Amino acid sequence: MILNICGFRAVCIAVALSAAPATHAALAGKGGREALAIVKGVTAPFSLYGLTESLRQIPGVDRVVFDMEHGIADITFKPGASATEAQIRQAIGNASFTPGKISWKSAAGGGQ
């Protein structure tokens, strides 16, 4: 189950995740929470660099993998670490992009 999902947002995440289920499952980190954040405006590798570095500045972030086709940042936290949605949104905005829906899941793949 995924937190903060209702209405249109739920549809967006469901569509986005169902489009690449295997890859996102494979990207899930071990032991830490994982956030999937929709990021609007990312179109090229070079400007993506600023986004991943900005997200890595959030304390506790272990890894960031971006899916260009679906505009999803897969943010894996170190065990025991987490962040607020506001922190993630701020990091995305700082990279000059527009944040969308953010959802959470645990390392085992289940939501909270």
Partner 1 sequence: MTGTLSGRFSAWNCRLAGLVVWLCIFLALAIPARAQVTFPGAEPIAGGQVAVRLQPMLTESTMGGQSYDGRTILQFGATPLLFLQAETGLPNSNSINDPATGGSRSQTATGIGDTTLVARYTVYHQDGIGTSFRIAPLVGVTTPTGMDDANGQAARALQPGTGNWGTRGGLVVQYLTLDTTTAAEIEYRANFPGAGYQFGNTFVANAGFHYKLWPSHFAPGKIDQFDLALETNYSIAGRDLGGGRTVPGTGRTLWLIDPGVMFMTPRWAIAALALLPIDEQVPHGGARFRYGAEMAFRFNFYTPHHF
34 bridge partner residues: 76, 105
- Determine if 50 is a binding residue for partner 1 (CB under 8 A): yes
Say how many Å lie between the first and final Cα of the chain, rounded.
Answer: 6
Region label for 6, one of left (φ > 0), alpha (ψ between -120 and 50) or beta (otherwise): beta
Single residue of 4, 96, 111, 112 touching partner 1 by CB under 8 A: 96
Distance in Å, CB of 80 to partner 1, minimum: 23
Applying CB under 8 A, among 82, 87, 94, 106 the residue interacting with partner 1 is 94
* Shortest distance in whole angstroms from residue 58 CB to partner 1: 11
Which of the residues 10 through 29 are near partner 1 (CB under 8 A)?
A: 20, 23-24, 27
Which positions lie near partner 1, rule CB under 8 A? 20, 23-24, 27, 38, 40-54, 57, 65-72, 74, 93-98, 100
